[in-house]
Structure 1
Amino acid sequence: MLHHNRIPYRRLAMIMLAAVMLVALMSACGKKDGGKATVIATYKGGEVTDKEFDKYIAFQTLMGNQYAMYVSIPQLKEQLIKQYIVSKVLIKDISSEDEKKASTAADSFKTQLDTEMKSNADLKKMMDESDLSVKEAVAQYKDFMAFQAYYAAKGEEMKPTVTDAEIKAEYDKAPTDFNLISVRHVLIKTNDPQTGAAVRTEEEALKIANEVKAKLDAGGDWKELAKEFSEDEGSKENGGLYEKVNAGGWVAAFKEAANTQAIGVIGAPVLSDFGYHVMKVESREATPYDKLTETNKDSIKTTVASTKLNEFLTAEQDKLEIKVTLPAEPAPSASGSPSASPSASPSASPSASPSASAK
């Protein structure tokens, strides 16, 4: 529940939320029009028009990404256009086996989309407002899955190039990520990690968390209270316990607290991306580099390989000599700024595409 890993793709789990959001955005911006397409980017071997890119954004929003929020900011829009072009070009290099898998996945997606279109008026309106046909959405989905396959395969190619010295250097950046920690917690959600929908306000969550802490401080039983109050499905039936887990897999705020909170003490509620946590660290043991498990080292190797992959994608982007020419747009208001920006990397990384999921 507390891990920041992301799922490969969400299919249509968020289709209602995405459709409602995009309909509102399209209506506000007057997105659909019958005018002539305008070239907004050129690269070696091709060009991208505003209409093509708008459909890409519509599809990404359908998949649960909030790219439609980003495109109002020229710098972010330019980066998204470059990411789109890089992924569009590189998927031509996927294997025939991955091509077949992408086609099969697209067929499954079409079946789901056809079913949703019959009963989901918001989705139908969204598709119409964005001028995105089922055929185009399915083609986008196939490309999406093809790039997932390309990214994964290229990452595996990079792993054998990672040296022991690079692994050690990466470990040295954050050795506490490998602390082996046993911690109990009760989570009071502020939002649903699957959909991003609000569950309660931070104030409401903190009030409940403080009540739980008071009960624990008074001698309350962790098993009973976790089962009654915790909204972490991964630990609530186990007294809120995560036992002997490497800290690096947890979200930042929870990891920080697990690494620094006094052992055996129930600390003040900690706010993370998920909500408020009432936490008690039961044990914490450092893991020196020479005591890392092979699993630990493989995890670090994957991280280093990912960095190498992003460097490779940066080089590929440079080779394409992309030139983006966007019309001048008014500066967005502070309230319109996204809460998070897309990856600074030029890669359309699949790990960055779907919304975050709890593990």
Structure 2
Amino acid sequence: MKRSVALLSSAVLVVSLLTGCGGAAGKDSASKPADQTQPAQNGEQATQPDDVLDQFKKLTLPYTVEPKTALVEYKDGTLSAEEFETFLRVINFLNPMQGMMIESADQESLKMFAREYTATKILASRADAAMEKEAKELAEQTFESLKIQYMGLLGKDDAKFEKLMSNQGLDKETVVGQMELINKSMTVLRKGIDEPTLKKLYEGMDKESLTVASVRHILVSFEKHNNNQEETLQVANELVARLKKGEDFAKLATENTDDPGSKETGGLYADADVTQWVPEFKEAALKLPLNQISDPVKTDYGYHIMRVESRKEKTFDEMKKQLESQALEQAYDHFNKEELDKLITKYNIPETKPASK
């Protein structure tokens, strides 16, 4: 788990649900529609709501321990095995893919989960009345959003949703309570994040991190030409010549590009962060004069013919949400380094069961 549980708002977790459904169903979530109750196409058998319900199994814990066991002891409190199990079951409900990771976790991974959840408990205990109210309201709203997503998978059958929760040993109150706890911890961390803090972060960002560009391109891949670089370059140069004679870029890209990610948009990536691209492509996106056809740009994938159609730096207001997330992570890192390990006095993490073959 790359990011802390304390930093995973319930809203973020819910976004993960439909992606998780694809994994739980053993399907490719990138290529299948989220609503798998739609009519089948091309002779494929339709997935019925009952089948979807069967995909969401109760979490199988990879360890055995008495419910009252204190898995983590810290100043002014403990994390019991019972509390930890509830937390893990809710995470499985919010994000089935995360649940699959929990079932195969080793002892060290369980310790990480327990440490992060202990951090969430400690931070949440510092919330004042206003923070608690805000956290509860958000948790209630997010639960309703989560329910809508599940209902879309279950044929909008409320009884099936209730059965799904019951099968996992959960109810609304338990799920909302866990999301509220996470929200409270985040609200406490967010307390010290003000406008000057965010502006300081913004001013410290380099130009590349702020730049977005709309780039239209055609990829002539090495793979398609059996890794013959000379042949690949020759094809790319022929396309450059056709573009410079006035042929339509979008049409030519749709017909010739080897990049499936932009084929349907006529080769266009619109208003994209340049930092997401490979170095050579990024460099060209940053430096090419606007609306000029480039010479072939070589990357590990092949040769790209590029045209930068727009380029700008994002403003502070456009970056604000991203900056808030960054500041939140920094606040949590500070809590981790300066407080958490000093507050935790003992771990009693159970050994995990051998993975089934």
TM > 0.5: yes
Conserved in 2, the CA contact under 8 Å of 1:182 and 1:283?
yes
Give the aligned partner of residue 177 of structure 1.
209
Give the aligned partner of residue 140 of structure 1.
175
Q: CA deviation at 1:13?
A: 1.8
Conserved in 2, the CA contact under 8 Å of 1:222 and 1:240?
no
Provide the C-alpha distance between the structure 1 equivalents of 2:322 and 2:88, rounded to a whole number of angstroms: 33
Provide the C-alpha distance between the structure 2 equivalents of 1:293 and 1:91, rounded to a whole number of angstroms: 33
> What SS does structure 2 have at the residue aligned with 1:162?
helix
Deviation sequence 1:324-353 (CA, Å, 0-9, x none):
222345899xxx9xxxxxxxxxxxxxxxxx
Provide the C-alpha distance between the structure 1 equivalents of 2:335 and 2:150, rounded to a whole number of angstroms: 32
Structure 2 vs 1, CA of residues 296 and 12 (structure 1 numbering), >3 Å: closer, same or farther?
Answer: closer
Deviation sequence 1:32-79 (CA, Å, 0-9, x none):
899733432223343334454344334324414436436634333222
Aligned: 1:325 with 2:330: no
Give the aligned partner of residue 218 of structure 1.
238
Provide the C-alpha distance between the structure 1 equivalents of 2:100 and 2:92, rounded to a whole number of angstroms: 7
Report 1:130-169 matches (<5 A): 132-135=168-171, 139-144=174-179, 147-148=182-183, 151=186, 154-155=189-190, 157-162=192-197, 168=203
Give the aligned partner of residue 32 of structure 2.
none
Provide the C-alpha distance between the structure 2 equivalents of 1:180 and 1:18, rounded to a whole number of angstroms: 32
Give the aligned partner of residue 311 of structure 1.
333
Counterpart selection for 2:101 from 56, 60, 69: 69
Provide the C-alpha distance between the structure 2 equivalents of 1:295 and 1:115, rounded to a whole number of angstroms: 34
1:97 maps to amino acid: E
> What SS does structure 2 have at the residue aligned with 1:184?
strand
Counterpart selection for 2:295 from 259, 265, 277: 265
Deviation sequence 1:177-229 (CA, Å, 0-9, x none):
245645224699xxxxxxxxxxxxxx9x9549989998654327541254466
> What SS does structure 2 have at the residue aligned with 1:158?
coil
Provide the C-alpha distance between the structure 1 equivalents of 2:232 and 2:96, rounded to a whole number of angstroms: 34
Provide the C-alpha distance between the structure 1 equivalents of 2:65 and 2:115, rounded to a whole number of angstroms: 24
Provide the C-alpha distance between the structure 2 equivalents of 1:72 and 1:133, rounded to a whole number of angstroms: 20
Structure 1 unpaired stretches of 5+:
1-5, 189-202, 337-359
1:134 maps to amino acid: L
Give the aligned partner of residue 13 of structure 1.
18
Give the aligned partner of residue 247 of structure 1.
274
Provide the C-alpha distance between the structure 1 equivalents of 2:324 and 2:331, rounded to a whole number of angstroms: 10
Higher relative contact order (CA 8 A, sep 6+): 1
Aligned-residue CA RMSD in angstroms? Answer: 5.4
2:101 maps to amino acid: M
2:119 maps to amino acid: V
Provide the C-alpha distance between the structure 2 equivalents of 1:127 and 1:209, rounded to a whole number of angstroms: 52
Report 1:1-359 matches (<5 A): 8=12, 9-10=14-15, 12-14=17-19, 16-20=21-25, 31=61, 36-37=66-67, 38-62=69-93, 63-66=95-98, 68-69=100-101, 72-92=105-125, 93=127, 94-110=131-147, 113=150, 132-135=168-171, 139-144=174-179, 147-148=182-183, 151=186, 154-155=189-190, 157-162=192-197, 168=203, 170-171=204-205, 174-179=206-211, 181-185=213-217, 207=224, 217-219=237-239, 222-227=249-254, 231-232=260-261, 236-237=264-265, 239-242=267-270, 247-248=274-275, 251=276, 254=277, 256-261=279-284, 263=288, 264-268=294-298, 280=306, 282=308, 293-295=315-317, 298=320, 302=324, 305-314=327-336, 315=338, 317-318=340-341, 320-321=343-344, 323-328=346-351
Structure 2 vs 1, CA of residues 214 and 106 (structure 1 numbering), >3 Å: closer, same or farther?
Answer: farther
Conserved in 1, the CA contact under 8 Å of 2:139 and 2:183?
no
Matched residues, number: 291
Conserved in 2, the CA contact under 8 Å of 1:20 and 1:126?
no
Larger Rg: 2
Conserved in 2, the CA contact under 8 Å of 1:179 and 1:286?
yes
Conserved in 1, the CA contact under 8 Å of 2:213 and 2:311?
yes
